[in-house]
Structure 1
Amino acid sequence: MKITELLKKDGVKLGVVAATQEEAIDELVDLQVACGNVGDRAKYRQAVLDREAQFSTAVGEGIAIPHAKTDAVKRAGLVAMTVPAGVDWKAPDGKPSDLIFLIAAPDTQANVHLEVLAKLSALLMHADFADALRAATTVDEFLAAIDSAEAAHDAEQAEKEAKAAAQKAAREASQAAADTGFPQVLAITACPTGIAHTYMAAENLEKVAGEMGVTIKVETQGSVGTKNALTPEEIEHCRGIIIAADKGIELSRFNGKPLYSTNVSAGINDAEHLINIIMNGEAPICHAEGGSSAPVTGKTEGMGSTIYKHLMNGVSHMLPFVVGGGILKAIAFLVDTQGMGTAAYGSSTPLAAFFNLVGGTAFDFMLPILAAYIAMSIADRPGLAPGFVGGWLAKQGFTLGYLATAMDAEAQGALISGGFIAALFAGFAAGYLTLGFEKLCDHLPESLEGIKPVLLYPLVCVFMIGLVMLVLNPIFAAINSWLIGALNGLGTGNLVLLGAVVGGMMSVDMGGPFNKAAYVFGTGMLASGTTSAQIVMASVMVGGMVPPIAIALSTTFFKNRWTAADRKAGIVNYIMGLSFITEGAIPYAAADPGRVLPSCIVGSAIAGALSAGFGCTSPAPHGGIWVTPVIGNPIMYLVALVVGAAVACLILSFLKKPLPPEQSGLAK
């Protein structure tokens, strides 16, 4: 029943003067009589007084809701009045009551007054609502305030009931699923580096599913490989699959099943929505007979997002070669003190030569792997071979001019690698050329179906990408030479500026496109082997280490800015920051982006600029504090890290105001 069905215009009186509680009750009883709700005024009045004698109906904060159930009431009714000066109603908080409602309930089995009392109490818990009633200057304003608040309350209650019903249904379905032994929802999480986002998304999906009463199993495709792999039986019995990934995922095993694909951040920030898409039957059916790794969603993915996903697939497969090769080559120079100052430095001893050979070999695969897995993300397995060949040709710098002089060693010019940019182009070109050729082959007779993947695709697509790269490599070689020359020609001031830019970018979205753009730029430049490139890589890495460490420092030294849970999680950020896992700061940035992000961006930019200014170099694209032995000028690198993290911590702690003791969990 709605409050406004019981409360009529004639039952409201504003600005009443009443010296005692009995005077106020008399005014309210008269309103009930005037509205025609009460047959016997004296008997009803006594019932109200008897009820007050049991204990006060004042609820505190200036509000009282007296009520009585008696056969003196002809029909249920509600009246109200405001008493600006207030009346002593023996309230638990000792405050006088200035907003008073009186309920009249007939002596029947239906406890109408309890229903109205419960709703009134819920509404009056909101100080804004009570203040709006007190501020009303007309009865119409008073009733309008009640209508508005009651409508909002009813909508909120309906939403809660619907959610509770859905959770009950989910629990029942979960129990049914448990009886079969298979999870209702399956998911795959993956990010380009496979370090933090992958596992954060998996953990959040599992947590939210548990809260919703939904059974789930999450496969992680991280840097250590596939864990918790989904089985064919689980896929067969599940209600649908969630793909939360920023790289290509092979979908052929999900053909014919409901599947929703999105980015890995959605798994961290919007898990309930993703699970509901599957549970409500809103996911589209996957059609991936040929092993497609293309996204399957309820809407078309933008071109930029598609290209980013293909690029990140290449980067994620390239990283182990860059990390392993870069660190091994750095170790070669560390152990080769005998060859310092000579042309043989890095290979003048057998031990140094071993590290240099193995590390260099791994580095040689960096660009071909990048191109191969970009192409594979676009065209699936048929794109792998042309992508690899295109990447190798890009790295080596072969051209048609080189072939023309292949038989004349004296006429041959030096090969110039197209570098990282050429390998990127080779990957996308190989992928889309292969994809186009696959579509052309769809028109071939079915009798040739078996030879397409083993003969036609590799033969024609490798030929096409080879021709394209031999023609275009001179252009990419010129661009790469200019870029390397520009980096080497940068003065200290320009390097400092570049270090500040790439360092700050690492904190803009902490694992998102800006972060990855800076990281890909740094790792790509490492292929040139120049000192300037290693300076840029050092700035990138120190910039990415700052946010988690800044959060950890703030939760340690400015405890009253954070809750107990924040402080507990902050300790882990020391390890994540020192390990160059920027994503440790994501939960804090998501909860308070307006303060966390600017603070971390400034701190990261300062750290990146200082690192570049000190001439710090990093041949390793990952590892954080654990690769300090291969960092050039390591002491000043640590200084840059400490200064950047301290600045970010101080700015953040200044922007965040101290929490009340009950929120921070700290005693006064």
Structure 2
Amino acid sequence: MNVKDVIDKKNIIISNTSMSKQEAIEKMSSLLGKNGYVSDVTSFQSAVNKREKEISTAVGYGVAIPHGKSDGVDRATIVILKNLSGIQWDKEIVNLVFMIAAPATANDEHLRMLSTISTFLMDENFRAKLLTAMTEDEIYNDLIKQDEAKSNEKDLKKATEDSGKYLIGISACMTGIAHTYMAAESLENEAKKRGMKYKIQTNGSTGVENKLTPEDIAKADAIVVAHDVKVDTDVFKGRKFLDVPVKRAIDKPQQIVTDALALSSDYVKSDKISKAEEKSEETEGESKGGSFARAFYTHTMSGVSYMIPFVVVGGIFIAISFMFGIYASDPTSSQYNVWAAFFNEMGGNAAFKLYVPVLAAYISWSIADKPGLAPGMIGGMMAVNGGSGFLGGMLAGFLAGYLTKFIIKKTKNIPHTYQGLISVLLIPLLSTFVVGFVMFFILNTPMSHFNEFLTTWLKSMNGSSAFVMGALLAGMMASDMGGPINKTASAFGLAMFASKIYGPSAALMVGGMVPPLGVALATLLFKNKFSNQEREAGKANWILGACFITEGAIPFAAADPLRTIPANIIGGAVGGALSMMMGITLQAPHGGIFVIPVACNKPLLYIGCIVIGAVITALILGFTKKTLSESDMNKQMAAGII
């Protein structure tokens, strides 16, 4: 099967009419119905929209690949839409849309061909050809030629694959149709440039393809695992590997391969994996793929990621409670309202009391898997009850995880007949007892005293000391917009929030709101520094910034990091510093503009801090970015980066 079997000229659309994402989906689906590929358009659209709700199908480079499997699809095909006006596809502006339609009973061959086409879009020159094509025939012919070129590359692979080092890896996205194969293609292309031999296993919708063998693993010079879903990494038998999200493998293949080579540089290849390497899998102080520091970060962030929904829900419910009056949840207050009490009970007395136990439970789970959940959660609850709070919960999670892992290791040689009883009774009972003993008799008292000291110290902050603290927290929050530095600052803020210290929460929210708002303002004030598509994306950032969604600034930072990231940090730091210096507090760690009126002690001053930070970010961007010429804008359009 080749491209001709799944592409029809009648299913290609060239349109510069402005349209929304949903309008584009409807237009493309209707065309498939008209051309006899889809018998139930409504059913197919529902499948596509369901997929869109799971995660955006915008893959960068100005491309989106929506897809769906449905009984309403009669023949597998791809419908293509080119729109140079740009379509707002969630957080990205796209100019090329490849919609994959597959029958519910589509065979493996069809799905592999559809996935192969998605990899064509990794080629910058090919995207440029599609964007400059004037007719449907040109687009169709470009696809056929690209397919032929890829076939020729496969024929030439044997001539070069033994010329250098060996890259192997696993790629797996949520649905296993587009992103999985694009990540594999990106890594393979980088390996080709370096003259490396390569083999990337794809865990796709049709199953595992190009499966790695023990010989591949033993001979590899570098290993990359690019995934958004859990994959089996036990096959690497203690080998170090680079663990990255699928999107990063698509966007940064050069850096990924370089880092993977450096990570495995101390490994001596052999045809067989040694016993020493097998033993290294169990070595304390290292996790799979990295050092103890990496493991500590990974386990902590696992706990934080599961904890965040509890904080978000709790914060929003508390903010709603405040809308009835600051004391409206108190039965003894004249402001008392039963609905305020209801929301406060859900937010403050339920969600917020659970988030430390959930943090501890999932730190422990990250270390020891399912057996670590019970001791971790119980240890976290004891941290809450004993006054050691967020930090005590973290310690309980690590203690429970590593203790459970140790017990599992020591009991694994017990006869299989007793393993069920061991896992259900002995391991959780013993690890919970030890964790509980440590928390009750050893950790809770000193940790609670430390919390009291930290609380008193932060409450006493004023003037220059508060200014510095606010600048540091907000600057960290704005630095990598969801990365490790951002999460570290956020975790500190949550720890202080658990201790009822609300100043850091205010500074952190400034650091999260300033980057998208600053970018939006810059695109308005300095239009000649941004492309048309960037200015359109800037409009969305007004709403994203107001809602405390920092990620809206990421495309701008990725396109111009040397100017955008410092501008974000400086603007955020100034706004955060002013916020803490003026004693502003925020009793809801999330929610943006929706919680400021009810959860902030000085809402007008607080909004002023955010505005000042955004203005500073915008001015820095305006004075440092170069003015775009018409030629520059055309080049960016052809490259698909705007």
TM-score (norm 1): 0.57
Task: For 2:287 and 2:359, locate their aligned partners in 1 and report how far apart those are by CA, in whole Å.
Answer: 29
Note the alpha carbon deviations across 1:508-564, whole angstroms, 9 max, x for none: 2222222111111111211112xxx22210110111111122222222321222334
Residues 208-607 of structure 1 mapped to structure 2, 5 A cutoff: 234-237=206-209, 239=211, 243-244=225-226, 250-251=230-231, 262-264=243-245, 266-267=248-249, 269-271=251-253, 300-336=289-325, 344-345=332-333, 348-359=336-347, 360-397=349-386, 417-470=387-440, 471-529=442-500, 533-607=501-575
Partner SS, residue 206 of structure 2:
helix
Higher mean displacement: 634-643 or 582-591? 582-591
Q: 1:233 to 1:548 in 2, by over 3 A?
A: closer
Partner SS, residue 657 of structure 1:
coil
8 A Cα contact 2:224 2:244, kept in partner: no
- What is the CA-CA distance between 1:468 and the residue it aligns to? 1.2
Q: 1:213 to 1:499 in 2, by over 3 A?
A: closer
Partner SS, residue 465 of structure 1:
helix
Q: 1:638 to 1:203 in 2, by over 3 A?
A: farther
Q: Report the counterpart of residue 79 of structure 1 in structure 2.
A: none
Q: Report the counterpart of residue 646 of structure 1 in structure 2.
A: 615
Q: Report the counterpart of residue 66 of structure 2 in structure 1.
A: none
The amino acid across from 1:330 in the alignment is A
Q: Report the counterpart of residue 41 of structure 2 in structure 1.
A: none
- What is the CA-CA distance between 1:327 and the residue it aligns to? 2.4
Q: 1:446 to 1:326 in 2, by over 3 A?
A: same
Identity over aligned pairs, percent: 38
Partner SS, residue 262 of structure 1:
strand
8 A Cα contact 2:368 2:402, kept in partner: yes
Q: Which runs of 5+ in 2 are unaligned?
A: 1-145, 159-168, 190-201, 213-222, 274-280, 636-642
Q: 1:606 to 1:345 in 2, by over 3 A?
A: farther
Note the alpha carbon deviations across 1:358-402, whole angstroms, 9 max, x for none: 1121111011000000000000001101100110111111xxxxx
Q: 1:211 to 1:388 in 2, by over 3 A?
A: closer
Partner SS, residue 491 of structure 2:
helix
Q: 1:441 to 1:377 in 2, by over 3 A?
A: same
Task: For 1:232 and 1:267, locate their aligned partners in 2 and report how far apart those are by CA, in whole Å.
Answer: 16
Q: 1:321 to 1:298 in 2, by over 3 A?
A: closer
Task: For 1:298 and 1:431, locate their aligned partners in 2 and report how far apart those are by CA, in whole Å.
Answer: 13
Task: For 2:424 and 2:614, locate their aligned partners in 1 and report how far apart those are by CA, in whole Å.
Answer: 54
Task: For 2:375 and 2:539, locate their aligned partners in 1 and report how far apart those are by CA, in whole Å.
Answer: 47
Partner SS, residue 482 of structure 2:
coil
Q: 1:388 to 1:376 in 2, by over 3 A?
A: same
Q: 1:338 to 1:371 in 2, by over 3 A?
A: closer
Partner SS, residue 365 of structure 1:
helix
Task: For 2:249 and 2:363, locate their aligned partners in 1 and report how far apart those are by CA, in whole Å.
Answer: 23
Q: 1:436 to 1:273 in 2, by over 3 A?
A: same
- What is the CA-CA distance between 1:261 and the residue it aligns to? 5.3
The amino acid across from 2:172 in the alignment is A
Note the alpha carbon deviations across 1:202-234, whole angstroms, 9 max, x for none: 9976766688999xxxxxxxxxxxxxxx99973
Residues 160-175 of structure 1 mapped to structure 2, 5 A cutoff: 168-169=153-154
Q: Report the counterpart of residue 414 of structure 1 in structure 2.
A: none
- What is the CA-CA distance between 1:638 and the residue it aligns to? 2.0
- What is the CA-CA distance between 1:237 and the residue it aligns to? 4.3
8 A Cα contact 1:508 1:515, kept in partner: yes
Partner SS, residue 414 of structure 2:
coil
Partner SS, residue 502 of structure 2:
helix
8 A Cα contact 2:529 2:627, kept in partner: yes
- What is the CA-CA distance between 1:653 and the residue it aligns to? 1.3
- Bigger radius of gyration among the two: 1
The amino acid across from 1:502 in the alignment is L
Task: For 1:273 and 1:630, locate their aligned partners in 2 and report how far apart those are by CA, in whole Å.
Answer: 45
8 A Cα contact 1:616 1:637, kept in partner: yes
The amino acid across from 1:649 in the alignment is A
Note the alpha carbon deviations across 1:405-450, whole angstroms, 9 max, x for none: xxxxxxxxxxxx0111111111111111111111111232333222
Task: For 2:550 and 2:151, locate their aligned partners in 1 and report how far apart those are by CA, in whole Å.
Answer: 37
Which of the pair has the greater relative contact order for Cα pairs under 8 Å at 6+ separation?
A: 2
Q: 1:639 to 1:394 in 2, by over 3 A?
A: same
Residues 164-203 of structure 1 mapped to structure 2, 5 A cutoff: 168-169=153-154, 186-188=171-173
Q: 1:203 to 1:508 in 2, by over 3 A?
A: farther
- What is the CA-CA distance between 1:580 and the residue it aligns to? 2.0
- What is the CA-CA distance between 1:572 and the residue it aligns to? 3.1
8 A Cα contact 1:332 1:346, kept in partner: no
Task: For 1:423 and 1:167, locate their aligned partners in 2 and report how far apart those are by CA, in whole Å.
Answer: 57
The amino acid across from 2:625 in the alignment is K
Note the alpha carbon deviations across 1:163-186, whole angstroms, 9 max, x for none: 96688429999xxxxxxxxxx975
- What is the CA-CA distance between 1:275 and the residue it aligns to? 10
- What is the CA-CA distance between 1:588 and the residue it aligns to? 2.5
Task: For 1:300 and 1:338, locate their aligned partners in 2 and report how far apart those are by CA, in whole Å.
Answer: 51
Q: Which of 556, 570, 593 is residue 625 of structure 1 equivalent to?
A: 593
Task: Count residues in correspondence.
Answer: 434
- What is the CA-CA distance between 1:476 and the residue it aligns to? 0.6
Task: For 1:202 and 1:578, locate their aligned partners in 2 and report how far apart those are by CA, in whole Å.
Answer: 34
Note the alpha carbon deviations across 1:468-494, whole angstroms, 9 max, x for none: 111221111111111111122222543
8 A Cα contact 1:537 1:617, kept in partner: yes
TM-score (norm 2): 0.59
Note the alpha carbon deviations across 1:227-281, whole angstroms, 9 max, x for none: xxx99973444647975479xx6545x7659996513373464257879999xxx
Q: 1:336 to 1:526 in 2, by over 3 A?
A: same
Task: For 2:187 and 2:203, locate their aligned partners in 1 and report how far apart those are by CA, in whole Å.
Answer: 23
Task: For 2:178 and 2:298, locate their aligned partners in 1 and report how far apart those are by CA, in whole Å.
Answer: 22
Residues 131-170 of structure 1 mapped to structure 2, 5 A cutoff: 168-169=153-154
Q: 1:236 to 1:349 in 2, by over 3 A?
A: same
Task: For 1:563 and 1:166, locate their aligned partners in 2 and report how far apart those are by CA, in whole Å.
Answer: 36
8 A Cα contact 1:379 1:432, kept in partner: yes
Task: For 1:463 and 1:517, locate their aligned partners in 2 and report how far apart those are by CA, in whole Å.
Answer: 30
The amino acid across from 2:475 in the alignment is G
Q: 1:243 to 1:574 in 2, by over 3 A?
A: farther
Q: 1:313 to 1:268 in 2, by over 3 A?
A: farther
Q: Report the counterpart of residue 112 of structure 1 in structure 2.
A: none
Q: 1:551 to 1:361 in 2, by over 3 A?
A: same
Q: Report the counterpart of residue 90 of structure 1 in structure 2.
A: none
Partner SS, residue 612 of structure 2:
helix
8 A Cα contact 1:205 1:271, kept in partner: no
